[in-house]
Amino acid sequence: MPGARCFVRLLGAAAILLLGGVPVVADKEGPKGPAIKPGLAFKDGKAQVEDKLTGDLPRDKGKPGNVCKVYPVRMEAGRTYIIDQVSKEFDSYLRLEDSTGKELHRDDDGGGALNARIVFACKTGGNYNIIATALSGMGRYTLSVREYVMPKPILVTLKDGKARVQGKLTKADSKDRFGQGSECKVYTIRLEARRGYQIDLASKDFDAFLRIEDPTGKEVARDDDSGGGTNARVKLLSQKTGLYHVIATTGRTINANKESAFSLMIEEKEALKPAEVVIKGRMGRIDATLAVEDPRDLAGPGGQCKIFTVKLEAGRAYCFDHMSGDYDAYLRIEDPAGKEVARDDDSGGGRNARIRYMCRQTGSYTMIASSLGGIAKKCSFTLAVEKLAVAKPIPIALKDGKIQVDGTLAKEDPGDYGGRGGPCRTYTVRLEAGQIYRIDMMSKSFDSYLRIEDSTGKKLGEDDDGGGANNARLRFLCRQTATYHVITTTPQANTFERKGKTDPNQAFMFALHIEPEKATAPIVLAFKDGKIKVEGKLAPDGFHDRTRPGGPSRVYILQLQAGKSYRLDLMGQRFDPYVRLESVNGQIVAEDDDGGEGLNARTVFRCTEAGTYYLFATTYANPLKLGSYTLTVQQE
300 and 400 together in one domain? no
Q: What percent of the chain has pLDDT over 70?
A: 87
Residue 504 is assigned to a structural domain of this protein? yes
Residue 616 is assigned to a structural domain of this protein? yes
What whole-number distance in Å separates Cα of residue 562 and Cα of residue 584? 14
- Helix/strand/coil for 416: coil
Contact 224, 232 (CB under 8 A): yes
Residue 242 is assigned to a structural domain of this protein? yes
Residue 4 is assigned to a structural domain of this protein? no
pLDDT band for 530, please (50, 70, 90 cuts): very high
- CATH code of the domain in which 246 resides: 2.60.120.380
Average pLDDT, whole number, for the chain?
Answer: 83
The residue among 148, 177, 199 that closes a domain is: 148
pTM of the model: 0.56
Can you name the residues that pair with 614 across neighbouring β-strands? 557, 582
239 and 321 together in one domain? no
Helices (H), 422-520: 493-500
Determine the pLDDT at residue 257: 74
* Residue 255 φ then ψ, to 5°: -85, 120
Q: How far is CA 428 from CA 186, 301, 384, in A?
A: 55, 39, 32
Provide the residue type at 461 as one letter.
G
344 and 467 together in one domain? no
Is 511 or 543 the better-scoring residue by pLDDT?
511
Determine the pLDDT at residue 92: 93
CB atoms within 10 A of CB 291: 11
Which residues have C-beta within 8 Å of that of residue 380, sequence separation ≥ 6? Answer: 287, 288, 289, 324, 325, 326
247 and 321 together in one domain? no
527 and 497 together in one domain? no
How far out from the chain centre does Cα 198 lie?
Answer: 31
Residue 3 is assigned to a structural domain of this protein? no
What whole-number distance in Å separates Cα of residue 31 and Cα of residue 12? 12
Contact 383, 370 (CB under 8 A): no
Peptide bond into 58 cis (omega under 30): no
Q: Identify which of 153, 149, 148 has the alpha carbon closest to the alpha carbon of residue 246.
A: 153
Q: Is the pLDDT of residue 21 over 50?
A: no
pLDDT tens digit sequence for 623-636: 667 889 999 999 98
129 and 211 together in one domain? no
Determine the pLDDT at residue 332: 94
- Work out how many domains the chain is built from and give that number: 5
The residue among 461, 490, 516 that closes a domain is: 516
Residue 617 is assigned to a structural domain of this protein? yes
Determine the pLDDT at residue 502: 43
Q: Which stretch of 260-269, 429-438, 624-633 has the lowest confidence by average pLDDT?
A: 624-633
Highest mean pLDDT among 64-78, 324-338, 549-563: 324-338
Q: Is the pLDDT of residue 267 over 90?
A: yes
Domain that holds residue 419: 394-516
142 and 22 together in one domain? yes
Can you name the residues that pair with 545 across neighbouring β-strands? none
244 and 219 together in one domain? yes
| Strand order from edge to edge, sheet including 126-136 | 69-75, 126-136, 91-98, 103-107
565 and 492 together in one domain? no
Contact 312, 344 (CB under 8 A): no
Q: Is the pLDDT of residue 19 over 70?
A: no
What whole-number distance in Å separates Cα of residue 600 and Cα of residue 572? 7
The residue among 131, 148, 165 that closes a domain is: 148
223 and 294 together in one domain? no
Contact 187, 156 (CB under 8 A): yes
Which residues have C-beta within 8 Å of that of residue 376, sequence separation ≥ 6? Answer: 292
Residue 362 is assigned to a structural domain of this protein? yes
144 and 30 together in one domain? yes
Residue 443 is assigned to a structural domain of this protein? yes
291 and 339 together in one domain? yes
Determine the pLDDT at residue 294: 84
pLDDT tens digit sequence for 471-513: 999 989 999 999 999 999 988 756 555 544 445 556 689 999 9
Per-residue DSSP letter, 272: G
